[in-house]
């Protein structure tokens, strides 16, 4: 995305054409111009790196043609949001902002067993991530960026080591204004604690880690899973094998936007167990309605969730130690006073205000003004 004298040119995939056109008919913007790019064969190709590289090349060619008539001041690449594949647009000769991007985070060795039969591919990803700063072409691309916005401190460090001259932290997730509650939560005394887990039921999201930790906590603590991503038979087996049938609840299907929001409002804390994630939109969603967070202290959760918005648990040298630490963190929250939970809620709710999309747009505009100044 770039802008010229207040105009913005957006390059996006053809699959977005219908939705964008419908929106612009209701919300006209004279200075907003969309260019839809079709990748031949995209219906037969998965939305992976191969497709993305082809899309990037076509976007680069289109950008060069556009530049013959438009004197771009800034280029801003916002998606695909991975630091592994830098944008080709840095070769246009225009100050380029890359991000926010994540992907610099890797899975701690101690938690690799939670990937099951995917552990080998996860190790390969870790190796690739660690050698990126040593790949010459990658270093050249990163050095050409006017600014890299990193979605977590792991990615920020990787970008710096890869030759990026200016790097800043920016969460890659924002909040809709109509999602947040009007005030923090007001907890009451209760006999039990209801934890909520939201997301795709993938290995890297730490589903089994959450179950292992819950197994080591008092029986008055329950856990509700909201999400899909694995077979019902496998998920039920994981629950039964740990003897958690009376403490774990899962509908077996994906929930709607309104159902997820209601779940945040009807539970006592969000349990976030991703072993590798840039951040996690569920963290912001939970915080915006005053739901305290119990999370592993790594990547985006470490960087953007305030320490007084819940309990953050460090990853240890062994999986067993991490499970025990997470179980202890959950138990500590369950044993906290109503006053302490209310304080967690207030801190989370206040912090979430900084992640509204309007605030993210304001920050981006400030970067545009700074980079567009004559040197």
Residue 331 is part of a domain; what is its CATH number?
A: 3.40.50.2000
310/292 same-domain check? yes
Lowest mean pLDDT among 53-57, 162-166, 193-197, 246-250: 53-57
- Whether 183 is covered by a domain: the verdict is no
342/365 same-domain check? no
- Whether 185 is covered by a domain: the verdict is no
Task: Give CA–CA dist 270/285, Å, rounded.
Answer: 10
Residue 242 tokens read as 């740990």
Query: At residue 375, does pLDDT exceed 70?
Result: no
Burial of 308 (0-12, 13-18, 19+ CB in 10 A): middle
- Whether 184 is covered by a domain: the verdict is no
Query: What is the pTM for the complete model shown?
Result: 0.91
Residue ranges making up the domain that contains 111 = 2-175+356-372
142/240 same-domain check? no
pLDDT of amino acid 253: 79
Task: Specify the CATH number for the domain of residue 68.
Answer: 3.40.50
Query: At residue 2, does pLDDT exceed 50?
Result: no
Run of H or E including 282: helix 281-288
80/214 same-domain check? no
- Give percent of the chain with pLDDT exceeding 90: 80
Residue 233 tokens read as 């038979």
Residue of 50, 142, 140 whose CA lies nearest to 104? 142
Number of domains in the chain: 2
- Whether 188 is covered by a domain: the verdict is no
45/143 same-domain check? yes
160/233 same-domain check? no
| CA atoms within 13 A of residue 305's CA, in its CB half-sphere | 33
| Tokens 């197994």 belong to residue | 215
208/332 same-domain check? yes
Query: pLDDT-derived band of residue 243, with 50, 70 and 90 as boundaries?
Result: very high
Q: Is 310:269 a contact under the CB 8 Å cutoff? A: yes
277/329 same-domain check? yes
Tell me the per-residue pLDDT of 109-163, one tens digit each, with 9 for 90 and over: 999 999 988 999 999 999 999 999 999 999 999 999 999 999 999 999 999 999 9
Query: At residue 178, does pLDDT exceed 90?
Result: no
Tell me the per-residue pLDDT of 49-79, one tens digit each, with 9 for 90 and over: 788 888 899 999 999 999 999 999 999 999 8
90/51 same-domain check? yes
Query: At residue 287, does pLDDT exceed 70?
Result: yes
- Give percent of the chain with pLDDT exceeding 70: 96
- Whether 285 is covered by a domain: the verdict is yes
| CA atoms within 13 A of residue 120's CA, in its CB half-sphere | 1
Query: pLDDT-derived band of residue 317, with 50, 70 and 90 as boundaries?
Result: very high
91: left (phi over 0), alpha (psi -120 to 50) or beta: alpha
324/366 same-domain check? no
Helical packing angle, 319-334 and 207-215, nearest 10°: 60
Query: pLDDT-derived band of residue 42, with 50, 70 and 90 as boundaries?
Result: low
253/202 same-domain check? yes
- Whether 16 is covered by a domain: the verdict is yes
242/260 same-domain check? yes
Q: Is the dihedral of CA 154, 155, 156, 158 positive or negative?
A: positive
Query: pLDDT-derived band of residue 1, with 50, 70 and 90 as boundaries?
Result: very low
Strands (E), the chain: 2-4, 7-13, 32-37, 74-77, 96-101, 147-150, 167-169, 193-198, 221-226, 248-250, 269-272, 293-296, 310-313
Residue 183 tokens read as 């005030």
CB count, 10 Å around CB of 174?
Answer: 16
- Whether 181 is covered by a domain: the verdict is no
């Amino acid at each position: 995305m770039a802008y010229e004298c207040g105009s913005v040119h957006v390059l996006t995939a053809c699959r977005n054409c219908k939705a964008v056109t419908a929106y612009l008919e209701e919300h006209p913007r004279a200075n907003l111009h969309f260019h839809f790019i079709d990748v031949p064969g995209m219906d037969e190709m998965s939305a992976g790196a191969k497709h993305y590289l082809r899309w990037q090349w076509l976007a680069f060619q289109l950008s060069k043609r556009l530049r013959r008539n438009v004197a771009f001041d800034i280029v801003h690449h916002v998606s695909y949001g991975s630091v592994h594949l830098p944008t080709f647009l840095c070769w246009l000769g225009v100050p380029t902002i890359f991000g926010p991007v994540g992907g610099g985070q890797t899975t701690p060795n101690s938690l690799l067993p939670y990937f099951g039969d995917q552990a080998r591919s996860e190790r390969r990803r870790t190796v690739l991530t660690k050698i990126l700063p040593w790949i010459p072409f990658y270093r050249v691309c990163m050095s050409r960026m006017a600014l890299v916005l990193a979605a977590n401190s792991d990615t920020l460090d990787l970008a710096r080591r890869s030759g990026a001259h200016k790097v800043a932290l920016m969460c890659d997730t924002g909040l809709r204004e109509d999602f947040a509650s009007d005030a923090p939560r007001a907890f009451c005394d209760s006999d039990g604690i209801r934890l909520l887990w939201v997301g795709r039921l993938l290995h890297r999201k730490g589903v089994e880690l959450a179950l292992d930790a819950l197994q080591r906590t008092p029986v008055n603590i329950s856990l509700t899973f909201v999400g899909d991503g694995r077979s019902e038979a496998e998920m039920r087996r994981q629950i039964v094998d740990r003897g958690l049938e009376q403490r774990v609840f899962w509908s077996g299907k994906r929930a709607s936007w309104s159902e997820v929001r209601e779940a945040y409002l009807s539970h006592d804390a969000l349990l976030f167990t991703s072993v590798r994630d840039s951040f996690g939109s569920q963290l912001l969603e939970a915080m915006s309605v005053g739901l305290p967070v119990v999370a592993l202290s790594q990547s985006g959760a470490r960087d953007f969730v305030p320490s007084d918005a819940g309990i953050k648990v460090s990853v240890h040298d062994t999986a067993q130690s991490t499970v025990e630490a997470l179980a202890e963190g959950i138990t500590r929250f369950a044993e906290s006073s109503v006053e302490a939970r209310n304080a967690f809620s207030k801190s989370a709710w206040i912090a979430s205000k900084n992640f509204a999309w309007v605030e993210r747009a304001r920050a981006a505009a400030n970067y545009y003004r700074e980079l567009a100044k004559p040197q």
